[in-house]
């Protein structure tokens, strides 16, 4: 039983990160019908900027408490990634908004490779350590253990998700986003500044990505220029699993993918008597994705035409 609880905790922590990154994919898709493949790299940039800023802070102000250093690093990462997301949209996607849909897709892949190489040039090819400044206490819950960082990840994800739901459903910006998602031209006729709404979407999505990037590197203790690629791929799958374009779907899809992966890797060896080992954990997760898509092509919560945002 304690193993099952531990695996669920593992899965929820992993899934929280997937969900935050998946939100970035799904929001952009909901509004532009563009799969922003550069989003994984924006997440990586968040982690890298945070680690770099924290390193500088620790050098400049050694007396600052670790939690403050981490928060300032997070803040720097979020601002940097928001700026990055804004610039990417402005420079790479906006000029192609009327182009065939393949053009921005290829551009997105190009931006992703560009960002990877920039990160490699700035920070090198080596893995860089996340400074050990956060409390590392372990707590026991029904025989399973969870660290402070993991509790922070779960808590922060919940707060951010609640905030996002409130933003989309209760504010005028949210209403504008939903309107643009349904029809750009009609929204424009109703006086919505479409460009501003799209920029806002990129700002929010990239900010969430930065938070996820910092969480990942804090949890695993390291950052690397290539870390965004696999994370982005998994998060994109999570968004599709939940129904791409649907915000609640991205959250559900992310958490579900994390839990499935965790349970799959943890139990597949024992259940098949060692015939299939944990090397199949990704296969297991993607098999579930394929199954869901066979029976519900638009994803778990995706319903075509209704409330994309």
Contact set with other proteins (CB under 8 A): 3, 6-7, 10-11, 13-14, 125-127, 129, 132, 138, 145, 147, 150, 216, 220-222, 224, 226-227, 230, 261-267, 269-270, 274, 277-279, 281
Give helix 102-123 / helix 227-242 axis angle, nearest 10°.
150
CB atoms under 10 Å from CB of 184, counted, come to 17
Tell me whether residue 112 or residue 262 sits nearer to other proteins (CB atom). 262
Residue 25's Cβ-count burial label (10 Å; 0-12, 13-18, 19+) is buried
CB of 114 to other proteins, least distance (A): 20
Please report which residue ranges of the chain form alpha helices under DSSP H.
2-32, 39-60, 66-88, 102-123, 148-170, 172-182, 184-189, 194-220, 227-242, 247-271, 281-295
CB of 224 to other proteins, least distance (A): 7
CB of 281 to other proteins, least distance (A): 7
Tell me whether residue 116 or residue 281 sits nearer to other proteins (CB atom). 281
CB of 138 to other proteins, least distance (A): 6
CB of 277 to other proteins, least distance (A): 5
DSSP string, 3-71: HHHHHHHHHHHHHHHHHHHHHHHHHHHHHH----TTHHHHHHHHHHHHHHHHHHHHHH-TTS-HHHHHH
CB of 239 to other proteins, least distance (A): 19
CB of 40 to other proteins, least distance (A): 13
Tell me whether residue 86 or residue 127 sits nearer to other proteins (CB atom). 127
Residue 55's Cβ-count burial label (10 Å; 0-12, 13-18, 19+) is middle
Tell me whether residue 83 or residue 230 sits nearer to other proteins (CB atom). 230
Tell me whether residue 138 or residue 304 sits nearer to other proteins (CB atom). 138
Q: Are strands 138-141 and 222-223 parallel, antiparallel or unpaired?
A: unpaired
Query: What is the distance between the alpha carbons of residues 127 and 136, in angstroms, rounded to a whole number?
Result: 21
- Judge whether 94 and 111 are in contact, CB under 8 Å: no
- The angle at the Cα of 8, spanning 12 to 17, to the nearest 5 degrees, equals 15
Tell me whether residue 282 or residue 303 sits nearer to other proteins (CB atom). 282
Q: 274 CB contacts (<8 Å, ≥6 apart)?
A: none
Tell me whether residue 54 or residue 179 sits nearer to other proteins (CB atom). 54
Query: What is the distance between the alpha carbons of residues 96 and 278, in angstroms, rounded to a whole number?
Result: 43
CB of 77 to other proteins, least distance (A): 18
Tell me whether residue 132 or residue 304 sits nearer to other proteins (CB atom). 132
- Judge whether 36 and 284 are in contact, CB under 8 Å: no
């Amino acid at each position: 039983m304690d193993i099952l609880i531990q695996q669920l905790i593992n899965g929820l922590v992993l899934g929280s990160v997937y969900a935050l990154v998946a939100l970035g994919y799904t929001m952009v898709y909901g509004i532009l019908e563009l799969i922003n493949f550069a989003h994984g790299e924006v997440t990586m940039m968040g982690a890298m900027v945070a680690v770099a800023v924290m390193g500088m802070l620790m050098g400049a102000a050694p007396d600052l408490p670790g939690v403050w250093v981490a928060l300032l690093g997070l803040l720097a990462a979020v601002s940097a990634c928001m700026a990055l997301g804004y610039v990417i949209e402005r420079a790479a996607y906006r000029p192609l908004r009327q182009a065939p849909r393949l053009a921005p897709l290829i551009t997105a892949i190009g931006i992703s490779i560009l960002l990877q190489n920039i990160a490699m040039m700035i920070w090198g090819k080596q893995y860089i350590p996340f400074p050990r400044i956060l409390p590392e206490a372990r707590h026991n819950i029904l025989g399973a253990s969870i660290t402070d960082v993991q509790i922070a990840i779960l808590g922060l994800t919940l707060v951010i998700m609640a905030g996002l739901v409130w933003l989309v459903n209760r504010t005028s910006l949210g209403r504008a986003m939903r309107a643009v998602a349904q029809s750009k031209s009609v929204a424009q006729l109703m006086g919505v500044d479409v460009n501003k709404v799209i920029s806002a979407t990129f700002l929010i999505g990239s900010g969430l990505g930065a938070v996820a990037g910092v969480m990942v590197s804090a949890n695993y203790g390291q950052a690397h220029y290539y870390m965004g690629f696999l994370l982005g791929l998994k998060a994109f799958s999570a968004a599709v699993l939940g129904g791409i374009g649907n915000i609640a779907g991205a959250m559900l899809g992310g958490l579900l993918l994390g839990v499935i992966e965790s349970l799959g890797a943890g139990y597949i060896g024992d259940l098949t008597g060692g015939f299939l080992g944990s090397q199949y954990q990704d296969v297991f997760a993607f098999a579930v994705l394929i199954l869901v898509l066979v029976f519900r092509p638009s994803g778990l919560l995706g319903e075509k035409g209704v409330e994309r945002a």
